[in-house]
Amino acid sequence: MSDPTTNVTGTPPPAGEKPPTAITGAPAAPKPAAAAAKPAPAKGKPARRSVLFAIVATPFAVAWTTFVAAMGLMTLGTLRFLFPNVLNEPPSRIKVGFPDDYEEGKVVDRFKDKHAWIVRHNGVLYALSTTCTHLGCTPNWLEREQKFKCPCHGSGFYITGINFEGPAPRPLERWAISVGDDGQIVIDKSKKFQKELGQWDSPESYILV
Ligand code: FES
């Protein structure tokens, strides 16, 4: 067998030169086995999900969904016409207790959520509407200042409901008021009385106490 560090002439290669590669004719050493084949993606959920996604995302599916939604909205619109709104308005007549429950010179705002202040003033009981006559906000009764003050634009009203400051053009309105068969005060919000029209003179707009 020849020395791999010598050339074909049997002399060693000059210094600094790489020895030639041996030609042996022997079969090449087996290469390391190729990287193990990656495992095939497991069949099942992920594959099914992507199929479903493909179906849903197709333009046909999108168009169909849009069509069904449009038809649903049209049906709802038709039903809306068949069944018009039913107005569940609160009752216009409310009982607010007995005349003796009210103190002279006091404003009771217990019924403010029903849009009424009950006032006993100078021997008369009346129910003022809580709607500001400027633009419809709800004023507050300021006990210390003895006035109704609107938080929106500053209109002020005396205890009588008459306007005296701010942009409100006219007094607060009164609701119809009466004493029922059981002796209780009844406020009827289906009727309003306006001072500037002389309607506060109507006996329906106050109770003498
Ligand atoms: S709404 Fe009351 S002052 Fe404007």
CA distances from 30 to 2, 33, 141, 194 (A): 24, 8, 102, 111
Rounded to an integer, what distance in angstroms lies between the CA atom of residue 144 and that of residue 94? 28
pLDDT score of 70: 84
pLDDT score of 28: 47
Distance 61 CA to ligand 1 centre (A): 56
Using the predicted structure, report yes or no on whether residue 84 has a pLDDT greater than 90. Answer: no
Q: Which of 133, 155, 173 to mutate to test the pocket of ligand 1 (most atoms within 8 A of CB)?
A: 155
Q: Which of 153, 163, 173 to mutate to test the pocket of ligand 1 (most atoms within 8 A of CB)?
A: 153
Distance 69 CA to ligand 1 centre (A): 45
Distance 200 CA to ligand 1 centre (A): 22
Structure tokens given for 186: 């009844």
pLDDT score of 1: 44
Number of the ligand 1 atom closest to the C-alpha atom of 166: 3
Regarding the beta carbon of 138 and ligand 1, being less than 6 Å apart is answered no
Using the predicted structure, report yes or no on whether residue 80 has a pLDDT greater than 90. Answer: no
Using the predicted structure, report yes or no on whether residue 207 has a pLDDT greater than 70. Answer: yes
pLDDT score of 68: 86
Q: Report pLDDT digits (tens) over 87-132.
A: 566 689 999 999 999 999 999 999 999 999 999 999 999 999 999 9
CA 84 from centroid of its chain's CA atoms: 24
Q: Read off the pTM.
A: 0.60
Regarding the beta carbon of 172 and ligand 1, being less than 6 Å apart is answered no
Per 3-state DSSP, what percentage of the chain is helix, strand, and coil (rounded to 5)? 25, 20, 55
